[in-house]
Structure formats: C-alpha cells, structure tokens
Amino acid sequence: MIIFSLCWILGNLNNLYLLSLYANNLSGSIPIELGNIGRLVTMYLNINQLIGSIPDSFGNLRNLQWMYLHNNNLTEKIPSSFCNFMKLKVVYLGRNNFRGEIPQCLVNISGLKVLKIEDNNLGENIPSSICNLTSLRILDLGRNLKGAIPQCFGNMGGHLEVLDIYQNNLYGTLPEIFSYESVLRSFKLEIKQITWAN
C-alpha cells in the first residue's frame, strides 16, 4: 500500500494548480496539509482507498473548481467547508460512504455545473434548495436518499441535462420537467410511490 507520505511536501507547493493522484492505490486519511495549496484549481484523488472525512482545511481551497474524490471509502458528513468553494464547477463524491445531509450551502455555489453524490449513505431528504443551482447540468443522487421528490425539479428543465435519482426511497408527484422546452437528455428513476403531475 502506498501511504500519503508526501503530504508535507505537497502542502508547501503554493503555486500548484493541478493535483492528480487518482488510481494510485493510496490509503489512509486525506492529509490536512493539502488545504494549504491555496491556488489549487483541480484535484484528482479518486479511485484510491482513502478513508475518513474530507478535512476542514479544504475550506482554504477557495480557487478550487474541479474536485474528484469518488471511488474511495470516505465517511462522515460532507463538511460545511463546501460553503467556501464559491468557484466550484464540478464535484464528484460518488461511491463513498458519506452520511448525513447534502449541505444547504451548495446553493450559494452559483457556477456549479456537475454534482455527483451517488452511491453513498446519506439517507436524508433531497433539499429543495438544490433547485436554485441554475447553472447545474448534471445531478446524480442515485442510491442514496429518501423522502419526497422536490417539486422544484420542474423549474430545472431549462438547464438540467442529466438527472439520476435511481434506487432511492422516494415518493410523491413527479414534476413537469418533461415539457417541450426541457433540455433533459437522461433521466433515471426507480418508481415506488410516484404519480405524475397533471
């Protein structure tokens, strides 16, 4: 196993804008020192064996635009430090073991285009505030959540191209997102207690 033994070196690379360590069989926790790379724009830590939580120090990465942490064994809640990622455009957190709720502060990231949190253990309702992400193109919440389908999904048809809410424990009325003006190209849903809006 390769352990994150270079964390103190990486944390001192203040001019680093791309960190690509995906599929390297990395294990252990994500080093808090990575939060010192203030100019970092793109982070690939996906497809490893990382455990634990996303460090609070990541809140210092205010220039981060692309974050790829999927296919690890990360746990705990998605931290409130996400509120600081105001430039974030793409975030992949799928296929981990995150629990709790989707942070409400995501609604403040106005430029977010891709949000993938599939295959976790969130087990909470889909927050209606997610519908305020007017730049969002891809939303994948599959195999995660419970509760009512937010009716505000119907307001996302003009910009949302991919919606995956497959294998969730959802109920309620499916909103009118499929109007002739909708740009939706891919929609995945497992029908349980679903009715169509009139």
DSSP state string for 178-197 = -STT----EEEE--SEEEE-
Task: Quote the pTM value.
Answer: 0.90
Q: Which residue has the higher pLDDT, 27 or 72?
A: 72
* Selection from 9, 97, 5, 19 nearest residue 54 by Cα: 97
What distance in Å separates the CA atoms of residue 196 and residue 100, rounded to the nearest whole number? 29
Mean pLDDT over the full length of the chain: 87
Is pLDDT at 192 greater than 60 in this prediction?
A: no
What distance in Å separates the CA atoms of residue 148 and residue 150, rounded to the nearest whole number? 6
Is pLDDT at 114 greater than 90 in this prediction?
A: yes
Range of the domain at 190: 2-196
Instruction: Quick: pLDDT tens for 122-168.
Output: 977 888 889 999 999 999 999 988 888 888 888 888 899 999 998 88
Task: Give the CATH number for residue 160.
Answer: 3.80.10.10
The total domain count for the chain is: 1
Predicted pLDDT of residue 197: 54
Query: Strand pairing partners for 19?
Result: 43
Q: How confident is the model at residue 97 (pLDDT cuts 50, 70, 90)?
A: very high
> How large is the average pLDDT for residues 48-68?
95
What token pair was written down for 135?
């730049």
Tokens 């207690």 belong to 193
